[in-house]
C-alpha cells in the first residue's frame, strides 16, 4: 500500500503470513494497553467497521479469556474469540475458531508516549493456504492501519 493511502503517522509491514501497522500514541503505555484489551472499545478501534459491540466476556481481557462480539460484514453475525497470548501491559493476542490471530503490542517510549502495533497473523490459522488464496494478509493492511490510527486518535483527543 502506498504511503499516501495510509492514515497519517502509521507505517505497515507485510510478509507471507502477517501484516502489521504501527504508530506512536500520545499516552502512557498502560493506558493504551488497557484500552485495547477492553472489548467494549473494539467497535471504536475496528479498522473496517465490522465490530459492532461487545456481547460477552470480561471488562478487561487476560490470559485465556473468552469474549463474544457482535459483528457485521454485509450481514450481522456473532464471533467468540479466546486470548491466546498475554504479557500484562505489553502484548495481547486473540483468535476466533479459525485460529488466525490479531495481536496488539504496546511499547513504552518514555514520558506519556508509546508505540502500538497491531498484527494480523494467519500462520496460526487452521488452513493458511486458503487465506492466502483469498488475498490475506494483504487484504487486512488497510484494516490494521486504520485500527492503529483509531487508537492513536482516541488518545490525541483533548
Residue 42 has a pLDDT of: 96
- CA dist 136 and 125 (Å) reads 12
Whether the predicted pLDDT of 71 surpasses 80: yes
| Residue 157, pLDDT score | 77
Cα separation of 144 and 45, whole Å? 10
Report whether pLDDT(25) > 90: yes
Mean pLDDT value across the chain: 94
Q: Which residues contact 143 (CB under 8 A, 6 or more apart)?
A: 47, 48, 120
Amino acid at each position: 500500500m502506498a504511503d499516501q493511502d495510509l492514515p497519517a503517522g502509521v507505517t505497515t509491514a507485510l510478509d507471507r503470513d502477517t501484516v502489521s501497522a504501527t504508530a506512536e500514541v500520545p499516552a502512557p503505555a498502560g493506558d493504551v494497553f488497557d484500552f485495547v484489551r477492553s472489548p467494549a472499545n473494539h467497535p471504536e478501534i475496528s479498522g473496517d467497521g465490522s465490530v459492532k459491540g461487545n456481547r460477552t466476556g470480561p471488562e478487561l481481557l487476560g490470559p485465556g479469556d473468552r469474549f463474544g462480539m457482535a459483528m457485521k460484514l454485509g450481514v450481522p453475525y456473532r464471533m467468540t474469540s479466546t486470548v491466546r497470548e498475554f504479557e500484562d501491559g505489553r502484548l495481547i493476542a486473540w483468535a476466533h475458531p479459525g485460529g488466525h490471530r490479531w495481536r496488539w503490542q504496546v511499547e513504552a517510549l518514555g514520558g506519556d508516549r508509546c508505540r502500538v502495533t497491531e498484527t494480523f497473523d494467519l500462520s496460526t490459522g487452521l488452513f493458511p493456504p486458503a487465506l492466502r488464496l483469498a488475498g490475506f494478509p494483504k487484504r487486512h493492511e488497510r484494516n490494521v492501519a486504520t485500527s492503529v490510527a483509531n487508537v492513536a486518535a482516541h488518545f490525541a483527543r483533548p
